[in-house]
Structure 1
Amino acid sequence: MKNITLLLCLILAFPYAAWGSDEHGHDEHGHDEHGHDEHGHDEHEHDVHEKQQSKDEHGHDEHDDEGVRHVEIDADIAQRIGINTAEVTSGTIEKTIRAFAKVNLAPNNSANISARFSGVIKELYVTLGDTVTKGFNVAKVESNDSLQSYTIKAPIDGVIQAQYVNIGENTSDKTLMLIVNRDVLWAELNIFPMNRNKVKVGQWVTLHGNNQSYRGKISHLLPSTDAHAVTHARVKINNQQGQFMPGDMLSANIAVDEIQVPLMVVKEAIQDIDNQQVVFIKQGERYELRPITLGHSDDRYTQVISGLALGEQYVAENSYLIKADIEKSAAAHHH
């Protein structure tokens, strides 16, 4: 009985010992009576540290169920890589019909060269593929009658497309060379009877081919010269950059009507992420993914039914670079 009484007295006298505190007043979890652990950090500091660690190296919250929705790009870098923006506007969407076209030389942009007087070719100053200007010397001929030599000059600017004689040969009455100028070409579109009443001179046409696009107007409508009941629409092509060649086959979208829409963006701006059509809205140096619902579309613009507001700044050029950055960040986010 005396031993039990003594034990109770010891427990009452030393309460901390009964609950597992060490001689410095720390409990068995390493916290003292003020809530500090044995390294001097309190419980609030642990909470902040844990929250900081919940962000990945890109600053995205690892527990964000929606995934990565934006990236930040320095303004100088954006300019250097060609990320350009435009405003969401109202405007006109073209209603088009499709046709196919063949590229031909313009009628006045080719010339056959022949000799004025029959004779022998004494000199050739050009060869196949050479570029010449109007008045350039292309050959020297010695006349059979007078035995006098004279020079043949290029009648137009162009390229030597064909050469039919060599030095020492007699010119006779044959063509010596063919010069063509490809600076101006014609696209000839076949318009079938079901679309004939929709197509008119002056309508805009967008031509596609050779990874190139060209926009021009219908200059002429001509009936077919063969037995087929088609009409030929001709579009003049300024080809000084050499993007097309005679004989090229192109697709053509002919604008036959217009639709006014309250909101539209350029087609290049639209990307597909996780089966959603999106554009990227610019806010300072932040580019935010914005899902959108689309409507009518033509070769240049697409109507936006929902998801954007008039005047918002969106990435109009090189939007695929933003898409790639977001997808890269999302992949790191999930790991």
Structure 2
Amino acid sequence: MSISVKLSLIASVIVATLMGLSIIALASGTEAQEVEPEKGPHRGRMLRQDDFAIELAIFEAGVPPEFRVWATQDGKILPPESVEVSVTLSRLGDGEDQIKFRPQEDFLRGDMEIVEPHSFMVSVNASYVNKSYKWQYDNFEGRTRIHADVANAMGIFTGTASSQVLTERLSLFGRLLADTNALVHLSARFDGVVKGIHVSLGQQVKAGTALISIESNESLKSYVLRAEIAGEIAALPINIGEATDGRTLVSILDRSRPLALLKAFPEDRRRIALNNSVLLVNEALETAGKGAVQWVSPLLNGDQSADIRVSIDADNLEVPVGSFVRGDVEVARYEVPLAVKRKALQSFRDFTVVYAKVGDQYEVRMLELGREAGEWVEVLGGLEPGTEYVTDNSYIIKADIEKSGASHDH
């Protein structure tokens, strides 16, 4: 085993150990590792003091989640109008929710929806017959603590949720070509025998440069074949002494005018407009070049595709003419008030979430998502602008939470 592999294994053990300690440190301050709290007949948490007790439950059958309270004294159900209750929920980094209650049937009903995540410190105040009662407990879910040095070692990085410009692109496929006027194939005006070759492959020439001397078969006089455009000698399939025989003697390519010919099917073609930007990608390279839509064919090919001609900035072209390429064509660009990186998304219960970071603690934020484009996903709800959230290696946070057993305790 190489030294580098050994060091890597040692580092992994150290990180795992530190991470385990960080989880234990959080668990020691929460009820996640304590005895399961007493549950009442409505599956809520029982809070007792002397002979007075209330059951506090989150009810969500057919309604948005809300708190409901049932009160008893000496085990006997109390009329809800005889009891006053208020609850304060202290959330991680998101302030407090103040909940008041009103009588309904045989219980007290909270006056606000309990939004996800149901993770908070709960403070309860109750009064009955001029006597006050107080309780406080932690109801954490989807939360963990990882110390900064451990997070850095594991590559856990964050960003700030904010507005973003989303760019939608269509991926089309095709080839790089030379512009119609950028590639010329020259042959002898009068057939004869090659007497001299004045250029070499790869040489840059100007329009009018002497290329080949030819002795005419008819007049037995020599004349010179000259370049018709400026460019590079791309092909020179002839030798001195050979007969021209009507074949191509030299090809010249003007590399300053390349283009890409892409194929688009009807459902995509109607989204493409002239001057849309195009990012060209080649299998061998992450980026082959950039360009813009120059022409959209009004006709369909035999395979029902339409030709899309893309002009290319030759200064950033990194692959030769003839290469197969993918063209990512921009078809829409818009700004959204709030977006997160697609790679940050994870699943938690039935939700898609990101992990908000407050200090050295991380907690789920259940998201309502909108449009997707590139690396970004629009957020319609569940996250406040300016929230610091995990962008890289968020799966580590998910695994940490699952390992610590942070449950959905109502």
Structure 2 length normalisation: TM-score?
0.47
CA deviation after TM superposition for structure 1 residue 205, in Å: 5.1
| 1:53-87 CA-partner distances (Å, limit 9, x unpaired) | xx95355133746686546369xx99xxx999764
Aligned pair partner of 2:194 in 120, 135, 139: 120
CA deviation after TM superposition for structure 1 residue 251, in Å: 6.1
Larger of the two Rg values belongs to structure: 1
Query: Does the 8 A contact of 2:185 with 2:252 survive in 1?
Result: yes
Aligned pair partner of 1:157 in 209, 215, 231: 231
Q: Aligned with 2:378: secondary structure?
A: strand
Q: Looking at both structures, which has the greater relative contact order when contacts are Cα pairs under 8 Å and sequence separation is at least 6? A: 1
CA deviation after TM superposition for structure 1 residue 263, in Å: 0.6
How do residues 268-287 of structure 1 correspond to structure 2 at under 5 angstroms? 269-270=343-344, 272=346
Aligned residue pair count: 264
Identity %: 19
How do residues 1-335 of structure 1 correspond to structure 2 at under 5 angstroms? 56-58=17-19, 59-62=21-24, 64=27, 70=146, 72=148, 87-93=160-166, 98=170, 100-105=172-177, 106-115=179-188, 118-123=192-197, 125-127=199-201, 131-135=202-206, 139-144=211-216, 152=226, 155-158=229-232, 160=234, 162-181=235-254, 184-192=258-266, 197-204=270-277, 210=283, 212=286, 216-224=291-299, 231-238=306-313, 240-243=316-319, 245-246=321-322, 248=324, 250=326, 252=328, 255=331, 261-267=336-342, 269-270=343-344, 272=346, 291=365, 293=367, 294-312=369-387, 319=392, 322-323=393-394
Matching residue's letter, 1:166 = N
Query: Does the 8 A contact of 2:290 with 2:317 survive in 1?
Result: no
Query: Does the 8 A contact of 1:204 with 1:216 survive in 2?
Result: yes
Matching residue's letter, 1:190 = A
Q: Aligned with 1:188: secondary structure?
A: strand
Q: Give the alignment's Cα RMSD to 1 decimal.
A: 5.1
CA deviation after TM superposition for structure 1 residue 301, in Å: 2.4
Residue 35 (structure 2) aligns with: none
Larger relative strand fraction: 2
Structure 1 length normalisation: TM-score?
0.55
The change in CA–CA distance for 1:182 and 1:151 in structure 2 (over 3 A counts) is closer
| 1:20-43 CA-partner distances (Å, limit 9, x unpaired) | xxxxxxxxxxxxxxxxxxxxxxxx
CA separation in 2, counterparts of 1:86 and 1:244?
Answer: 39
CA deviation after TM superposition for structure 1 residue 168, in Å: 2.6
CA deviation after TM superposition for structure 1 residue 110, in Å: 1.6
Q: Aligned with 1:176: secondary structure?
A: strand
Q: Aligned with 1:242: secondary structure?
A: coil
